Chains A and B, each alone.
Chain A
Amino acid sequence: MNANVSSVTMYATDPDRAQSMDLITSLRRRFNGRYLIDPFGADPQLQDVLAPVVLAAVRTRVEHGERLIRNGPALLVSNRGLGVVEPTALTVAVRCEIGRRLRIVGVPDIPVLGDIMRKLGGVIAYPGDVGALLRAGHMAAVPLGSSWSRWAGGRPPLPLLVPALGYPVIPIAVMPGGPFGMPLRPWRVVVGEPLPIHSKKGSGDPLAAAELAEAARTAIDTLISGDSNG
């Protein structure tokens, strides 16, 4: 597979690597239309401009950051609450730890808000799009179904894991740093061991995907409970 089908570096912007550019240059390039857009609608330059604000607002502490893959496609599976804070914390963690742009799967397909979220790196929860993201060599994150309590992984999104077969899948637990689930201290992002790969790329086997989903949920539950006990 060609890993860089949609990853074209232009206008000194890399669609996969986080960068920083001074505001004046950014504004000038934006006025002249000389900025990068990717086929999923992401706007890396806008992300780089907004990054300092988000990084100041959402602080994270990453454990086992060395388990994150620095090059090529990978799928992160993480727990989440009801809002967008967990995905944001995860994006910040990946950006700070390995300097990659994370693509969060699960943007609502609605006007305006959906468009803004896509610009910031979100992707609509459609299995084909997850496959396309991975084939293009991006790092994507699929949150488990949202749950009220932040202390358990939700329902695994089975159809979204079918295209991920054959690619590295990494379970991640995202937890608020403060007591009783309050985000008073930096968010804790615990990276688990990558799950073993049993299938070939593009095999599309639903049973293998179900096994992968169960393995991911168990791994995340273990990360969360291991953490709350310790």
Chain B
Amino acid sequence: MRVLVTGMGGEIGTRVAQLLEANPEVTEIAGVDFVPPRRRLRRSEFRRIDPRDREKLANFVMEFAPDAVAHFGVYEPGSRLSPRLAAIYSHSCTVTALGAAARTGKLQRVAVRSGLEVYGRGRGRPGVPDEEATVAPSTPYGRTCLEVEAIAADLGRRHEVPVVALRMAPVAGSHVPSPLGRVLRLPAVPVPAFADPAFQLLHVHDAAQGMVLALLAGINGPLNLVGPGAASVWQAVRLGGRIPVPVVGPAWTLATHAAELAGASMPPHIVELLNRGRSGDGSRAVDVLGLNEMRPTQEVCAELFEWATVTPLHVPESSAISVKR
């Protein structure tokens, strides 16, 4: 099988490539992204292409002619790109890469990254939505995810290929660039004053594993991918030994700007998570993919704070020089 991994430069994309390399069924792997992969890859071919350069991207995909596409070119706002650019990159990468792959006529299956954000939060929406729940995104990232899902599903219908949309809980880990991780690692974290909503996280390894299993199995339709258990906002802040700063109503705008100044961008879907939580029912993915050993949310949450506690070693300059010699 020839697999194309879009968004291979991201943490999950790189892990997906590593898992695919370990699978003998997969004969060739090609990847594109606007940044290079984060780990050493042995038999994947990587091409650095800006998703906005549609012609270059389309040519590369057509030349490779993939049987399967693992589409990670869905960029979370505030992760590595600003919210505006993230939406443009996601749209461009989805339309161009999937369109080019379909035109080759060899495409057999597609897996796309999506998020629990497609369900939205608020009145009339379930607290723990399953895949049957109505999709009603309430943030720009949710709308981007839904758009990607719709494009992919439409392509699947027209070309009769199974398309699986993996609606992932926020992906986190000690080395994953995630806006939620950055906010929770601030010394003082804004939290809702009169609420303590529950949210779920997904470990980056489980995200990659789920994507590879769903792609190889050729599943059709959406699948929620969430880490078991949950954490609450106040709890996560205390778990990291941070100071919770209660915020009400319009003060969230101020908190968003303050966090931005402190180096943690807070796009709308993160503000929504802090205020209304984010959960999903991942039992179908567990059944269908056999993912029985997923990392629980609270472990992922604890891992967020692990690297922050690494103490720098202060080596005297003289000894450092002597070692060098």
Complex alpha-carbon distance, A31 and B242, angstroms: 11
Report how many residues on chain A are interfacial, defined by Cβ distance under 8 Å: 38
B123 to chain A, nearest CB (A): 6
- Which residues of A in the span 27-86 have a Cβ within 8 Å of any Cβ on B? 30-41, 43
Q: Say whether B128 faces chain A, with CB atoms less than 8 Å apart.
A: yes
- Which of A2-10, A141-149, A164-172, A182-190 lies at the interface? A2-10
Specify which chain A residues have a CB less than 8 angstroms from the CB of B127 in the assembled complex.
39-41, 118, 123-124, 126, 129
Please name the residue on chain B nearest to A127 by beta carbon.
B126
Does B281 have its Cβ within 8 Å of any Cβ on chain A?
yes
Cα–Cα, bound, A120→B196 (Å): 12
Bitwise, A132-174 to B at CB < 8 A (1) or not (0) is: 1101100000000000000000000000000000000000000
Which residues from chain A contact B226 at a C-beta distance below 8 Å? 39
Q: Are B194 and A124 in contact (CB under 8 A)?
A: no
Do B229 and A33 touch across chains, with their CB atoms under 8 A apart?
A: no
What's the nearest-Cβ distance from chain B to residue A63, in Å?
Answer: 33
**Nearest A residue (CB) for B123:** A109
Q: Which of B232, B234, B236, B287 contacts A1 (CB 8 A)?
A: B287
CB distance from B117 to the nearest CB of A (A): 16
Contact at B196–A38, with CB atoms within 8 Å? no
- Identify which of residues 222-264 in chain B touch chain A, using a CB-to-CB cut-off of 8 Å: 226, 228-232, 234-241
Q: Is B229 touching A35 in the complex (CB atoms < 8 A)?
A: no
Cβ of A131 under 8 Å from chain B: yes
Q: Which of B22-30, B61-69, B81-89, B129-137 contacts A (4 or more CB under 8 A)?
A: B129-137
Q: Does A217 count as interface, using CB distance less than 8 angstroms?
A: no
CB-contacts of B253-308 with A (<8 A):
277, 279-283, 286-287, 292, 296-298
Which residues of A from 81 to 124 have beta carbons under 8 Å from B?
109, 111-112, 115, 118-119, 123-124
Determine if A196 is an interface residue (Cβ-Cβ < 8 Å): no
Q: Which chain A residues lie closer than 8 Å to B235 at the CB level?
A: 33, 35, 37
| Pairwise interchain contact A39-B236, C-beta atoms closer than 8 A | no
| A128 close to B (CB within 8 Å) | yes
B129 A128 Cβ-Cβ under 8 A: yes
Please give the distance in Å from B213's CB to the nearest CB on chain A.
Answer: 15
Find chain A residues with CB under 8 A from B296 CB: 8, 10
**B142 cross-chain contacts in A, Cβ below 8 A:** none
Contact with A along B109-142 (1 / 0, CB 8 A): 0000000000000011111111011000000000
Identify 27 residue pairs between A and B in the complex whose beta-carbon atoms are under 8 Å apart, listed by A's number.
Answer: A5-B286, A6-B228, A6-B281, A6-B283, A7-B228, A8-B297, A33-B237, A33-B239, A33-B240, A36-B229, A37-B198, A37-B230, A37-B232, A38-B229, A39-B127, A39-B128, A41-B232, A43-B232, A115-B194, A115-B196, A119-B196, A123-B127, A126-B126, A128-B133, A129-B128, A135-B281, A136-B283
Q: Which residues of B contact A (CB under 8 A)?
A: 123-130, 132-133, 194-198, 200, 226, 228-232, 234-241, 277, 279-283, 286-287, 292, 296-298
Q: CB within 8 Å of B: which residues of A?
A: 1-2, 4-8, 10-11, 30-41, 43, 109, 111-112, 115, 118-119, 123-124, 126, 128-129, 131-133, 135-136
The 3 closest A-B pairs by CB, nearest first: A33-B238, A33-B239, A8-B229
Given contacts A41-B127, A133-B128, 17 further A-B contacts (CB under 8 A): A1-B283, A2-B283, A5-B281, A5-B283, A6-B128, A6-B228, A7-B228, A33-B236, A33-B238, A37-B231, A38-B198, A38-B229, A39-B230, A41-B232, A128-B129, A128-B132, A136-B281
